[in-house]
Structure 1
Amino acid sequence: MGFEQEAVTSLMTCMRRKRSKMQRDMVRGNHGEPFVLHELMLRGTMTPSQVADALCASSGRVSTLLSALEKKGFVTRDVDPDDRRVVHVNLTPAGREKAHADLDEMRDAMCWIFSQMGERRTREFVDLLEEFATYMSICHPGKPRPTPEEVREAFAERAGSGAEAGEGPAAGAETAPEAGPGTESGGGCPMFGA
């Protein structure tokens, strides 16, 4: 087994075995409510179908979720006066407050984790996670693996967006890594099926 397959196995095992209570609460316990509140806080008014697309859920599931949020006073569902077939979902002040509180709790928990890891390891972790996410954004199941040029373009775009947003101390400073054995078409990570 090569290091790539070993890394995939370790990552999947870690994700499966060490899911935190916080993650379980976000996914199962609250039935996606924090996600919906956060999306509405970021995007503003949405239709139920837009919420379903964002949540990758069925319209029935979203209808149940929105009903629960409405009963709690976190959202309103208003019929569009110009087209009665369209419903607009909006946050209430209580919903906005709940979304901010959930986000603050998540940030506080993550800050504690990073304080345990220390600054150097935290910065390394974030850099590696950004690199991993960049590769994931261009490597799709059932499709040819990205070419070295596509890899360079993805990392150039990442560097440009980081520099514009002013993210992190080294924003915009990185360059595309040299194309390795997993970057040519047809090679790659077994996690994405190739």
Structure 2
Amino acid sequence: MGFEQEAVDELWSKVWSHKSAMQRDLTRGAHGEVFVLRQLMEYGQLTPSQLASALRVSSGRISTLLSALEKKGFITRENDPDDRRVVRVRLTDAGREAVQCDVDAVRDAVCWIFSQMGERRTREFVDLTREFMTYMSICRPGKPRPTPEEVKAAFEQAEP
């Protein structure tokens, strides 16, 4: 077994298959609510079907999520004035505040982690993660591997 397979095994067994305490805390009890709120924060108003597609869940599941978020005061659902059959989902001020609070808490926690790693290792980690994600963006399981030209183009496009 080469270093590549050992690295994949290590990632699968020690990294990707175990949720960190931070990941568990962020998702505890939310059951998709955080994802819906972040989608609305990023894209503005969306329809329930757009949210269901983004989350890859059924319309019934989205309806349940939206009801819970509406009860918490984080979203509103309104009929589109141009087409009464279309429902638009929007964040409320409380919803925006909840998303921002979540983002700030995660940022603070990750900054602490980086402070523990130190500047040199943090910069190396970020550089390596950027490189890894660039390769991930062009490599598809079961498909031919990217050509050297495609790799070069991906890295040129990814330049900061």
Query: Shorter-chain TM-score: which interval?
Result: over 0.9
* Structure 1 gap segments, 5+ residues each: 163-194
**Deviation string for 1:84-142 (max 9, x for gaps)?**
22110000011011110010001011111111101110010011001110000111112
Which position in structure 2 is the counterpart of 1:118?
Answer: 118
Distance 1:78 1:142 in 2: 43
Instruction: Indicate the percent of aligned positions where both proteins have the same amino acid.
Output: 68
Distance 2:17 2:151 in 1: 32
Q: Considering fraction of residues, name the structure with more helix.
A: 2
Distance 1:18 1:80 in 2: 42
Aligned CA-pair RMSD: 1.4
Which position in structure 2 is the counterpart of 1:33?
Answer: 33
Aligned pair count reads 160
**Deviation string for 1:12-47 (max 9, x for gaps)?**
112256421221233453112122112211211111
SS at match of 1:26: helix
Distance 1:54 1:102 in 2: 20
Equivalent position amino acid for 2:119 in 1: E
Q: Post-superposition, which runs of at least 4 consecutive aligned residues in structure 1 deviate over 4 A?
A: none
The equivalences for 1:60-99 within 5 A come to: 60-99=60-99
Q: Considering fraction of residues, name the structure with more strand.
A: 2
* Structure 2 gap segments, 5+ residues each: none
State the TM-score, normalized to the length of structure 1.
0.78
State the TM-score, normalized to the length of structure 2.
0.94
